Structures are given as C-alpha cells and as structure tokens.
C-alpha cells in the first residue's frame, strides 16, 4: 500500500489512535480485575454491604 | 426484563456481563471490516493518501460530541429524574469522550501538517474541539477530585448541563471569530467526502468506533458500580468496628 | 424585595470593608496590564494594536481571582446555610450577591481602564469604547463565574479548579468583547453586531448563572 509522500503522518495518526484506544482498554480491564480482587478479599473477610452482621435481625 | 429493572445495579451488572462479550466481538468484526475498507480506499485528488487520516478524525470528532450528549442525558437523569444509575453512566462516559476528543485533536493536527503546513491552525472547527476538550477536563476534575462520589457526580452533572447549553454558543463564537481573523480557507477538512469510495470506509469506521465507545462505556459502568460496592462495604465494616 | 435589597446591602458593606477585597481585583488588573509590556516589549504601535485584547484578558483574569470570595466567606461562617433556608428564593439571593460583587469588583476595573489604556498607547476616544465593552461584558463574566464559584464551594477545592471550570465558558464573552472594542477603534468591522451579542450574553448569563449556581449549592451542600 503506497501511502504517498506524507506516509509518516498517516502512520503517526493511526499509531496515536491505537495507543489511546489501547490505554482505554487497559484502564477498563485492569480496573475491573482490581475491583474484583478487592471485592473477593472483602467477602472472604466476611464483610457484607449491610451495616449489621448477618446473624442479627 | 422491563426497563425499570435497569435501575437496579445488580440486575444491570448481570445484563452487562451477558451483553459485553457480544459487543466486544461485534467491535472487533467492525474494525476488521473497516480497516480493510480503509486500506482499499482511493487517494484524494487534492490531499493524496492523507485523506486516510480522516477515517480516524471524523469518527473521533463525532464520538467527542456524542459523549457529551450522553453525559447530558445522564446529567438530566441524575438531577431531574434521580435515576440511580444515571450518575454512574455520566462518570463512565467522561474519560472515554475526553479520550476521543483528544484523538480528534491529535489526528487533526497530524492531518493539518501535510495539508496546511503547520501542526496547529486556529481553524474554527479545531478550536471548538479544543474548547470542548477543556470542558471535558473540567468535568473530569469534578468527578475525580470529590471525596464523596455522589456530591462529585451532582456537581459534574451541573457543569455538563451548563456545558451543553454553552457548546453551541462557543461553536458559534469561534466560527464568528475565525471568519473575522482569517479569510475563508480553500482547504476544508471535509474535502471530497461525498464520493462513495471514501464515504463507505468513513461510515464503517464511524460505526466501529461507536461500537467501541459503547463497549468501553458499559465496561466502565460495571467497574464504577463495583467500586461503589467496595466503598459501601468498607464503610459498613468501619461502622461495625 | 426588601430581603433582596438587604442581602445586596450586606454584601456591598462587607466587600468595601478592609478585609473585603473589593479593590484587590482592580489591583491585580493593574499589575497584569503593566506586566504585559515587559513581556511584549515597549513597541507602542504593537501595544496599541493589541491593547484592547490585553485589557480584556486582564479584566477576565482579575474577575476570576475575585470570584473565589463570592461564596467562600459565607460558606465558612455558616451564613450560606442560612441563606439557603430563608424564604427568599436562593436564585434571587445569589443574584443579589452577584450584583453587589459586580459593583464592587468589576466596576472599579472599568473605571481604571482609561488610565491603563494610556500605558498601552490606546488613544482617548478608543479607550472609551473599550471601557464600554467591559461595562457590557463584565456582568457576563461575573454571572458565568458564579457557577464555577458555586460548584467549587460545594466541593471545598476552590481556587484553581474554579478557573479551569469557568474559563472555557467565558470564551464567547472574550471573543465578542475584544471584537467589539476593536471594531470601534479600527472601524474595520461594524461595532453593532459584536456589541449586541455581548449584551445578549450578559443578559442571558444574568438568568442562567443564578439558576445554575443555586442548583449547584443545593445539590452540593445537601
């Protein structure tokens, strides 16, 4: 594919877009695993979302 | 499942978990198809191959605006209808919209260098996008620096609505300012987009990027719901201690 | 009506007192405009050409600086909560405060503009026009600014965040203010359209500002 005399700019544009999109995908994915891990740890410790412990009415 | 069920975060999460893999697959397919079309797109008679940058720049511009539109609906949901997931939707959309606005600026600059000779031109459209980016930064500042997520979301929602009213005014002012200071430029960024061999790749890429936006948005909403759940649990733990 | 006037009078009295900071805005304006030639060089022709722009930018930054003061002191001593609970609609209370703020902060700017114009080699007749555009445009700056002031009071971060939020929204005011001033001086374009739009922006923000600020205060401080 011949990109002509300004090939560098075209490649730079696609590379920049790719990098930003990759960062977005990484942010969303890493944040998800982080939250899941924290939730798992909290649940293991017996923490619930209710203010009172489970055994009290 | 009725629409009202979407107000329940747990049910929303189940829905997202089911839908997300399909969205990811659709996005990948759309980009595969789009990039093939981009490779095969002909050169512009005036700009040569650099017209291929337009296939990134125009979708990014569209998503930047659409992002703010989405945030505006979310803001109305937060302030007017008090929908429980509205502020989550707004907070999740903001960084994604800001990122695409940034892509629009960068690709616009890289497109301008070979066609107009400089990396930055105070062209009406680019300048308006720059101001939009500044507004995004303001909203992000409100979402991310608030100690209390609810309060931060409400403040960000207000700024979003004020921005929504202001953005048309800003666009009008910038265009007015631009015609005042520069003669009408012959090289328009729209160029020869009417030809189908250019239009079809443009539409496919726009569709692919839009699918990407919604995939990222739903995933980010899921993360935000989980984050708030963590916060609630930690507060409950501290309350019981 | 009397409640409106009472709040207005209170704010006027508070800001002209020693700690009120009424003239700080004018002082900052003076300093900013004086700094410009140091950065640009003493070329009088250049300064005259960009003079209106320098004056407008200085006024914009000075207004921004003073806006912090609008709600912060009331929030700190609790009178903001009292205002929110009073019978007078919050929007009107905010409008009263904003008008008092404009009179004590922006009006001094407009008054010392001719003096500063002399330093920038703007001719006498032209200076009157610049001052007029500032008179018409500073209400817009104040009333748009108070949205940012209300948002940052609620979040207790203030200061710089306020500037980041408000500046993009004031771009149209800046564009039309400088355009009107330049139109009057050079006559290259007509004064009417730009000035009319400037006035329209001020009038619109007179309505939008208090409503948005009231919403921000209600939601932020609940």
Confidence of residue C72 (pLDDT cuts 50, 70, 90): confident
Instruction: Find, in chain B, the residue whose alpha carbon is nearest to that of A29.
Output: B219
Q: What does pLDDT average to over chain B?
A: 86
Q: Would you say residue C155 has pLDDT above 70?
A: no
pLDDT in tens, C174-194: 999 999 998 888 777 788 889
| Whether B49 contacts A7, CB under 8 Å | yes
**Which residue among B137, B152, B169 places its CB closest to the CB of C155?**
B152
Inter-chain touch C147–B162, beta carbons under 8 Å: yes
Q: Would you say residue C20 has pLDDT above 60?
A: no
Tell me what pLDDT residue C190 has: 81
**Chain B from 94 to 153: CB within 8 A of any A CB:** 95-96, 99, 102-103, 106-107, 110-111, 113-114
Confidence of residue B144 (pLDDT cuts 50, 70, 90): confident
Tell me what pLDDT residue C125 has: 81
Question: Mean pLDDT across the stretch C108-116?
Answer: 89
Of C41 and B104, which is predicted with more confidence?
Answer: B104
Chain A contacts of B239, Cβ < 8 Å? Answer: 51
Chain B contacts of A51, Cβ < 8 Å? Answer: 236, 239-240
Percentage of chain C modeled with pLDDT above 90: 31
**Which residue among B137, B162, B176 places its CB closest to the CB of C169?**
B162
A30 CB neighbour count, 10 Å cutoff:
11
Tell me what pLDDT residue C184 has: 83
Tell me what pLDDT residue B1 has: 45
The residue among B46, B67, B44 whose CA lies nearest residue B201 is B44
Chain B contacts of C212, Cβ < 8 Å? Answer: 158, 161-162
Inter-chain touch B151–C219, beta carbons under 8 Å: yes
Q: Would you say residue B48 has pLDDT above 90?
A: no
| Whether B51 contacts B198, CB under 8 Å | yes
| Whether B209 contacts C207, CB under 8 Å | no
| Whether C70 contacts C101, CB under 8 Å | yes
Is C214 touching B (CB cutoff 8 A)? no
Chain B contacts of A20, Cβ < 8 Å? Answer: 99, 102-103, 106
Q: What is the DSSP letter of C121?
A: T
Tell me what pLDDT residue A49 has: 67
pTM of the model: 0.87
Q: Where are the beta strands (DSSP E) in B106-156?
A: none
Q: CA-CA distances (angstroms) from residue C154 to B160, B235, C29, C206, C209?
A: 16, 22, 28, 21, 16
Q: Which chains touch C (3 or more CB pairs under 8 A)?
A: B
Chain C contacts of B101, Cβ < 8 Å? Answer: none
Inter-chain touch B131–C165, beta carbons under 8 Å: no
Structure tokens at B176: 């007015």
- Closest approach of B180 to chain C, Cα-based (Å): 8
CA B125 – CA B122 distance, rounded (Å): 8
Tell me what pLDDT residue C169 has: 92
Q: Would you say residue A29 has pLDDT above 90?
A: yes
pLDDT in tens, C36-63: 888 888 888 888 888 899 999 999 999 8
Tell me what pLDDT residue C15 has: 79
CA B102 – CA B64 distance, rounded (Å): 8
Confidence of residue B158 (pLDDT cuts 50, 70, 90): very high
- Closest approach of B143 to chain A, Cα-based (Å): 16
Beta-carbon contacts of B124 under 8 Å, excluding residues fewer than 6 positions away, are B171, B174, B175, B177, B178, B179
Of A37 and B184, which is predicted with more confidence?
Answer: A37
Question: Mean pLDDT across the stretch C162-167?
Answer: 84
The residue among C161, C173, C156, C159 whose CA lies nearest residue C208 is C173
Q: Would you say residue C112 has pLDDT above 60?
A: yes
Count of B-C CB contacts under 8 Å: 77
Tell me what pLDDT residue C77 has: 83
Chain A contacts of B52, Cβ < 8 Å? Answer: 3, 10
Is B231 touching A (CB cutoff 8 A)? no
Percentage of chain B modeled with pLDDT above 70: 92
Structure tokens at B143: 């979402």
3-state secondary structure of B48: strand
Is B5 touching A (CB cutoff 8 A)? no
Inter-chain touch B131–C189, beta carbons under 8 Å: no
Structure tokens at B163: 């921005």
Tell me what pLDDT residue B106 has: 94
Count of all residues that appear for chain C in the document: 222
Confidence of residue B153 (pLDDT cuts 50, 70, 90): confident
Structure tokens at C40: 């640009």
What dihedral angle (degrees, nearest 10) is formed by the CA atoms of B207, B208, B214, B219?
170
Chain B contacts of A42, Cβ < 8 Å? Answer: 230, 233-234, 237
Tell me what pLDDT residue B187 has: 44
């Amino acid at each position: 594919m011949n990109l002509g005399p300004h090939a560098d700019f075209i490649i730079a544009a696609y590379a920049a877009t790719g990098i930003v999109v990759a960062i977005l995908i990484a942010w969303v994915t890493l944040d998800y695993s982080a939250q899941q891990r924290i939730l798992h740890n909290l649940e293991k410790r017996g923490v619930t979302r209710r203010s009172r412990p489970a055994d009290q009415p | 499942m009725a629409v009202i069920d979407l107000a329940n975060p747990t049910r929303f999460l189940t829905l997202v978990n089911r839908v997300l893999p399909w969205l990811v697959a659709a996005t990948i397919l759309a980009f595969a198809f789009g990039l093939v079309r981009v490779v095969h797109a002909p050169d512009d008679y005036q700009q040569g191959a650099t017209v291929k940058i337009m296939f990134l720049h125009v979708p990014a511009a569209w998503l930047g605006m659409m992002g703010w539109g989405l945030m505006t609906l979310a803001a109305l949901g937060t302030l007017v209808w008090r929908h429980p997931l509205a502020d989550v939707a707004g907070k999740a959309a903001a960084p994604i919209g800001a990122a695409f606005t940034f892509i629009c600026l960068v690709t616009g600059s890289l497109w301008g260098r070979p066609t107009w000779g400089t990396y930055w031109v105070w062209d009406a459209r680019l300048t308006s996008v720059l101001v939009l980016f500044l507004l995004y930064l303001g909203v992000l500042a409100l979402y991310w620096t608030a100690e209390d997520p609810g309060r931060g979301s409400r403040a960000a929602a207000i700024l979003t609505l004020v921005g929504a009213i202001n953005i048309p005014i800003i666009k009008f002012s910038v265009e007015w300012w631009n015609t005042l200071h520069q003669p009408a430029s012959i090289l328009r960024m729209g160029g020869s987009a009417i030809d189908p061999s250019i239009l079809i790749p443009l539409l496919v890429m726009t569709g692919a990027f839009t699918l990407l936006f919604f995939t990222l948005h739903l995933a980010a909403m899921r993360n935000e719901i989980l984050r708030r759940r963590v916060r609630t649990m930690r507060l409950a733990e501290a309350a019981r201690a | 009506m009397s409640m409106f006037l009472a709040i207005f009078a209170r704010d006027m009295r508070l800001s002209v007192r020693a700690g009120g900071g009424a003239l700080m805005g004018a002082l900052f304006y003076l300093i900013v405009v004086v700094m410009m030639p140091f950065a640009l060089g003493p070329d009088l022709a250049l300064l005259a050409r960009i003079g209106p722009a320098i004056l407008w930018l200085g006024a914009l930054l000075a207004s921004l600086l003073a806006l912090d003061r609008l709600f912060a002191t009331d929030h700190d001593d609790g009178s903001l909560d009292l205002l929110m609970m009073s019978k007078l609609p919050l929007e009107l209370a905010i409008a009263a405060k904003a008008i008092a703020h404009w009179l004590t902060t922006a009006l001094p700017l407009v008054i010392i503009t001719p003096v500063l114009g002399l330093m920038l080699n703007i001719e006498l007749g032209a200076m009157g026009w610049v001052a007029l555009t500032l008179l018409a445009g500073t209400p817009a700056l104040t009333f748009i600014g108070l949205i940012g002031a209300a948002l940052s009071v609620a979040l207790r971060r203030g200061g710089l965040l306020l500037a980041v939020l408000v500046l993009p929204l004031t771009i149209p005011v800046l564009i039309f203010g400088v355009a009107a001033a330049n139109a009057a001086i050079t006559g290259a374009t007509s004064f009417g359209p730009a000035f009319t739009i400037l006035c329209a922006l001020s009038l619109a923000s007179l309505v939008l500002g208090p409503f948005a600020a009231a919403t921000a205060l209600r939601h932020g401080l609940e």
